[in-house]
Structures are given as C-alpha cells and as structure tokens.
Structure 1
C-alpha cells in the first residue's frame, strides 16, 4: 500500500517502514461526475433568470432526495 510523504510524516514513519493500519470501507453515496455535469449544464443552459432559478431548485431537490436524472420523454 502506498502512502504520501505528508501522511507518512504525520504518522511518524519513513518510506520502507512496516506499519499496522486499519482500513475502513467508505460506503457513503457519491454523485457521479456525469450527473453533476448534467445538472450544471441544465442550469447553464437556462436563458431566463427564473428558469435558471427553477432548475437550481430542481437540482438541489433531486440531489437532496437521492432522486436520479429525470427520464427522457419522447413523443406520446
């Protein structure tokens, strides 16, 4: 396992030293880059201030609620 010089110094070990470490699995949910980009482009693409404001509110609500991207609706 590699470790940065800053982390080694903080732990008081040198390169090549053996150390016992405890690793914890981080299972926190993450927002994929593509989803972040989709929300950003949606907001940037708004021409009118109230549309931008609505899209920001929609993005915040979706991200806070864990809701995925809205499905694309094609002709009906």
Structure 2
C-alpha cells in the first residue's frame, strides 16, 4: 500500500491536505526516523509539501535511512 506523507507544518496540514495523507513535518522527520517510522523500508512513499522544496529534503532523508521507493510529489496542488 503506498504511503502519502505531507511534510508541511501542522498548521499548513490543518488548512488542507491530500486525502489519505499523514502529516510528518520535515523538521521532525529525522527524529521519527531514529525512533521508528512504522513504514516498511520497501514501501512506496510519496512526500509532498507546498511547492516541492521540503519534499526534496524529506526524500533525501528517507533515502539515506534506506527507504527504497520514495517519490517527491511536489506541492499540494499536484496531489489533489
């Protein structure tokens, strides 16, 4: 099952997000990775933010942690 991760702030997430997305702010992603993300290492993951910049950072962090199938979905408008 693919995972959709919104890496924007909780306030941005509350204003609107893609259906089925979970909110893990990019600033908290490294902490979550160190304590266990609860997503299989070979799962398909799409990360997105407002325009794609933070999603790029998140993609790099996930790949460095060993995740194999990570896609930068760009901004929220691409996910709707």
Give the structure-1-normalised TM-score: 0.28
User: Rg: which structure is higher?
Assistant: 1
Give the structure-2-normalised TM-score: 0.26
Larger relative contact order, structure 1 or 2 (CA cutoff 8 Å, min sep 6): 2
